[in-house]
Amino acid sequence: MQDAPETTRAQYEPAEAEAIRAAFVATGAAECPRCRAPMLRRAIGGGSFGLGYARRREWMLCPRCRRSAIFDAARGTRT
Ligand SMILES: [Zn+2]
């Protein structure tokens, strides 16, 4: 057994991804709903800084089960 191919990358159920997003928005961190491991946060490039408001996408990755969730975390950041 060697590296898992890309196609086996697991995803969360929509309800799980929403729970991760809600936890992140509320506390700035999230844990995996499946194995309760603290999730790693990765920034997703794609917008330029300095353009003012832009959608901010967050990528939360579980180091244990390797599932990941991508969501828009920009809610409530405007003044
Ligand atoms: Zn996990």
Q: From first to last of its 79 residues, what are the pLDDT tens digits of the chain?
A: 555 555 556 789 999 999 999 999 899 999 999 999 999 998 776 555 555 555 678 889 999 999 999 888 765 544 5
| Distance of alpha carbon 45 from alpha carbon 23, whole angstroms | 22
Separation of CA 74 and ligand 1 centre (Å): 24
Q: Specify the pLDDT at position 15.
A: 95
∠ CA 29-35-40, rounded to 5°: 35
Separation of CA 61 and ligand 1 centre (Å): 8
Task: Using the structure block, give the residue that is written with the tokens 């599932």.
Answer: 67
Adjacent-strand bridge partners of 69 = 60
Separation of CA 46 and ligand 1 centre (Å): 26
Separation of CA 41 and ligand 1 centre (Å): 13
| Distance of alpha carbon 64 from alpha carbon 32, whole angstroms | 9
Beta-sheet strands, E only, within 7-79: 40-43, 57-61, 68-72
